[in-house]
Structure 1
Amino acid sequence: MQAIMLAAGMGSRLGKYTKDNTKCMLDVYGKTLLERAIDSLLNANINKLILVLGYKKENVKKYIKETKLDEKIEIEFIDNDVYDKTNNIYSLYLAKDKLIQDDTILLESDLIYDESIISELVNSKYNDAALVAKYEEWMDGTMVTLNEDKVISSFVEKNNFDYNEVNSYYKTVNIYKFSKDFCKRFYLPFLESYIKAYGHNDYYELVLKVISGLKDAKLYGVVLDGKDWYEIDDCQDYDIVKAIFAPTTKEKLELFHKRFGGYWRFNGIKDYCYLVNPYFPTKQLISKMKYFYENLLFNYPSGQKIERIIATRFFENVSDENIIIGNGAAELINLLRNVVGKRIALTIPSFNEYVRCFPNSEFVFINSKDNGYRLSLESLINVLDDVDTLVVISPDNPSGSHLSYDETIKLLNIAKQKEKQIVFDESFIDFASDNYTLIDDSILKRYENLIVIKSISKSYGVPGLRLGILASGNNDIINIVNNNLPVWNINSFAEYFLQIFNIYKKDYKNACINIKNERDRFYNELKNIKELYVYPSEANYFMIELKKGNSFELAEFLLNNKKILIKVLNGKNGFDSKEYIRIAIKDKEENDYLFDCLKEYFGV
């Protein structure tokens, strides 16, 4: 068996990375895609590679000679000198005579993949097959459908893609196994006819699309089951593969955390790191937003003044002059640097944005470790004399500790007497047993020293909309923050969500009840793992101390073996030398899956 790699293209979408070389020369952690492909071929006992080259072909040939790759595998070159006027159908046409000399693995040059998948295709029981993967949101390009016998029944081009049929779609990995007989009887005759009819500037898969309608020309789909692969078409793809194919799990974990989201681009990743309500929004609310998608897409959102009025439908007990809508709570926290005092008190460990966003302030830290990682009203009161501003996050992140309503009002009264400013972050308060809100005109006007921050993204389950609010009864604070915002700082989708939320308010309350009930159930389950100490939580997450083992090693095991992403808290300001993690509370099925994985790790 031989392999043919189509590597003539310019890869212009990769910009600077293909300025001097073609895509097969992309380096991923010290190995080019070409070298990785050769290792995979050798692993599958394939000892001959035919390279169809065009753009920067001499650089590729020079690299092969200098690195002695041609001593590892027999390499034969075919030149496509009109690479800039043709597409890969012509590159394959140039290699047509090779297709009938031996069975062939056909692969493209912009792929990176688990080394074992070539062997999986070679060792499959089918003589003629394509590697395919079940469709996921990050995939693009040609899709196929399979019949009950795993025969490819149709090829679906981009312009024929139907989102109503995605459950039946498989993405071609662009690695094929062709027998000599298949090429001689079917592929080559149709390839030559297609080129005569339509020219050289097309894709070889279109020939397979025609052949798939023939009764005797069966091309099977070999379905990849969870193995990593990626097609590198542009700079974003190149960045993504550096996370997927990091040389160590530790580096992989670090790279995933540095992304701060966007994990839907990665095959099968289960995110227990970011904290989102799994029970809201409802399918009905989502359907309503989908129905108005085009209107929202093609029209400008309202300006800040109107957004603030709309927000009063969301928070019914506050006036528009006392509230500001932000592109996520993080945007509003960042703008607080213009209104907070010079000396700021903050309980640690805490949400890092409150430190990052106030670089010119001096911090006085209250270490909750001294109180078993529980918020201490006494400590909060005692620090007031030493600072201008006190930041309180309740429930606290990451511990889930919570101040009761009475404790909060007591703190506000004392701060008012001492003329100290309070920033109160209630982003997770709707999950608390005694949930309450300070976003109320009667409270805001009574305590003009109070600024309330709330992330809508987290508790309302819409992090992609990037919504947050700031509320205050102090007109000067509202005006300063508002004057630092653009006219349009949230999009039409976020605005519409605010507008229609009231219709689904009962559903939201039920969703919060579901979180509380599932939190109690999951807490009792986790307590059965004696290697863990789970801190009681009033939020939608648990902080956990590992009484045995290492947090990073656990996180690496979960990511590498289960594709689960959790938050490692070691090294975060405020923690001692013990081992800590934070996990999101999701629905029962997802929580049970994580629980089973934890039991497996600890041998329970």
Structure 2
Amino acid sequence: MITPKEHFHGSDLEKIEAVYGIKKEDITSFSANVNPLGISPKLRTSLTEQIDAITGYPDREYTSLRSSIANYIKADKKHVLVGNGSTELISILVQLTAPKKAMIISPTYSEYEREISLAGGSCSYYALTESSLFQLDTKAFLKELTEEFDLLVICNPNNPTSSYISSQDLDKIFTICETKGILCMVDETYVEFAEDMEMITAIPLIEKHKNVVVLRGISKFFAAPGLRLGYAVCSDENLIHAVNARKNPWTINTLAAIAGEIMFSDTEYIMATKELMRTERNRICKQLSDCSNVKVYPPAANFVLVKILKEGITAANLFDAAIRKGLMIRDCSTFPGLDDTYFRFCFMSPEKNTELLELLFEFIREL
């Protein structure tokens, strides 16, 4: 039986095997937030034909890969940086800029604070509140951006709340930060899942604001976390040069670079993913909203944050019930500002989504 202090990340399938005796192959992870369609069909059929590429070193500049990314995101190639996952780029950016004090909008991904702390900096948090459905009050937030901060970190859409800041409001935030000498780091890991991505993404704003770095990767939307490919977009050429000078050469292997080029051009797969997310997000949220024992917060990404309203039931209880059926959700009580009534799950196949919803509703009724 899981204890209240045990929590599992979406990649902790081996730990779950040990605790529950369930083979990891039999677990559907609603916690990992990975595209349920799996890898791009175009990639699956094409990558093996490129196997001989590993006999040579990758292009140090990753020219072809950066061109593919630039075409995909509609940006200038010279503004595109690539790295061994967005995690490497976050780490290098923090090391280079060495922020003394960072502002982080929370609750959110814990890796930001870890990197800032390792670089000798400290963090302050601006808390999104349940009363505002975890949506940012931009006007109030702008008043908190003082000269004491030299870095602002935004996850947009945010994990775990699945809320977002519009690009219109981001423009206001970036402008204020620019006047105060604050670098803005925007993690857009989940933005491609959003139905109105063009209303959220900060990439069109980088030409206007040199103090902005936008980060993305292929782990979630393209279901390829094992390839370790991430990229950043920034119009500050001095910062780009400094990051490239700091990186080790060839941090992206040849096959990962080729895979990126293939994935970014698979428009059929991209559109199929967006349509699946749109229909399942709407269907699931409608069913959750009809249940009086839970509260659902409007999601922009491929996952949803839910609060249990029935007294005596915790997210740990629900996790335990679900994992015994081979369904893994995320207990969100470890996120600052969230208690043991919050859980998160991503949208999988319609069949698996229905299976999870049925278990959730049955569990809440039975206890």
Q: Residue by residue, what CA displacement relative to the aligned partner does 1:279-318 show, whole Å, maximum 9, x if unpaired?
A: 35443431222443x335x43451441x254222123233
For 1:257, the equivalent position in structure 2 comes to 9
Q: Equivalents in 2 of 1:579, 1:249: separation in Å?
A: 16
Q: Distance in 2 between matches of 1:450 and 1:253?
A: 37
Moved more, 325-334 or 395-404: 325-334
Whether the aligned pair in 2 keeps the contact of 1:400 and 1:542 (CA below 8 Å) is yes
Contact persistence 1:401–1:536 (CA under 8 A): yes
Decide whether aligned partners of structure 1 residues 409 and 257 sit closer, same or farther in structure 2, where only a CA change above 3 A counts. Answer: closer
Count of residue pairs the alignment pairs up: 349
> Which of 217, 221, 239 is the matching residue for 1:477?
239
Are positions 1:302 and 2:54 aligned together?
Answer: no
Correspondent of 2:124 among 351, 364, 371: 364
Who is 1:346 aligned against? Answer: 104
The answer to whether 1:311 aligns with 2:311 is: no
Amino acid at match of 2:202: L
Quote the Cα distance in structure 2 between the aligned partners of 1:261 and 1:473. 39
Q: 2: distance between equivalents of 1:468 and 1:415?
A: 25
1:528 counterpart = 2:281: no
Question: How many angstroms does 1:524 deviate by?
Answer: 1.0
Structure 1: gaps (5+ residues) = 1-247
**Residue aligning to 2:86:** 329
Question: 2:107, 2:128 within 8 Å by CA — same for their partners in 1?
Answer: yes
SS at 1:517 equivalent = helix
Query: Deviation per CA, 1:465-512, whole angstroms, max 9, x where unpaired?
Result: 122111211122212222222211122232112222353124313321
Task: Give 5+ residue unaligned stretches, structure 2.
Answer: 18-22
By relative contact order (CA 8 Å, sep 6+), the higher-ranking structure is 2
The aligned amino acid for 2:67 is T
1:486 is aligned to 248
The structure carrying a bigger strand percent of its residues is 1
Higher Rg of the two aligned structures: 1
**Structure 2 match to 1:73:** none
SS at match of 2:273: helix
- AA aligned to 1:543 is L
* Secondary structure of residue in 1 paired with 2:186: strand
Superposition pairs for residues 190-269 of structure 1, below 5 Å? 248-250=1-3, 254=7, 256-257=8-9, 260=12, 266-269=24-27
Q: Spell out, residue by residue over 1:345-364, the C-alpha distance to the aligned partner (whole angstroms, 9 max, x if none).
A: 11111011111111121212
Post-superposition CA distance 1:102-154 (Å, at most 9, x none): xxxxxxxxxxxxxxxxxxxxxxxxxxxxxxxxxxxxxxxxxxxxxxxxxxxxx
Counterpart residue type for residue 318 of structure 2: L
Cα contact 2:107–2:127 (8 A) shared by 1? yes
Tell me whether 1:584 sits opposite 2:339 in the alignment: no
Alpha-carbon distance, 1:439 to partner: 3.2
> In percent, how many aligned pairs have the same letter?
23
1:578 deviates by: 5.1
Q: Which residue of 2 aligns with 1:382?
A: 143
Query: Is contact 1:326-1:490 (8 Å) kept?
Result: yes
How has the CA–CA distance of structure 1 residues 462 and 252 changed in structure 2, closer, same or farther, with 3 Å as cutoff?
farther
AA aligned opposite 2:214: V
Are 1:448 and 2:210 counterparts? yes
Pick one of 36, 44, 53 that aligns with 1:286. Answer: 44
Alignment partner, residue 514 of structure 1: 276
Shift of 1:521: 0.9
TM-score (norm 2): 0.87
- Is 1:419–2:181 an aligned residue pair? yes
CA shift for structure 1 position 393: 1.3
User: 2 CA distance for matches of 1:304 and 1:530?
Assistant: 56
**1:357-385 deviation per Cα after TM superposition (whole angstroms, max 9, x unaligned):** 11121212101026332222224322211
Give me the CA root mean square deviation. Answer: 2.5
Q: Counterpart of 1:552?
A: 316
Letter in 2 for 1:393: C
CA distance in 2, matches of 1:398, 1:458: 14
- Give me the whole-angstrom Cα distance separating, in 2, the residues matched to 1:505 and 1:438: 21
Contact 1:327 1:489 in 2 (8 A): yes
| Distance in 2 of aligned mates of 1:251 and 1:490 | 39
Paired residue secondary structure (1:433): coil
Distance 1:282 1:469, change over 3 A: closer
Q: Please name the residue that 2:333 is paired with.
A: 570
Q: Measure the CA separation in 2 of the matches of 1:270 and 1:378.
A: 41
Change in CA separation of 1:451 and 1:589 when aligned onto 2, cut-off 3 Å: same
Give the aligned residue type for 1:415. Answer: C
SS in 2 for 1:314: helix
SS in 2 for 1:392: strand
Instruction: Give the whole-Å Cα distance in 2 for the aligned partners of 1:304 and 1:396.
Output: 33
Change beyond 3 A, Cα 1:526–1:301:
farther
Partner amino acid, structure 2, of 1:534: V
Q: Does the Cα contact within 8 Å between 1:449 and 1:474 map onto a contact in 2?
A: yes
Counterpart AA for 1:562: K
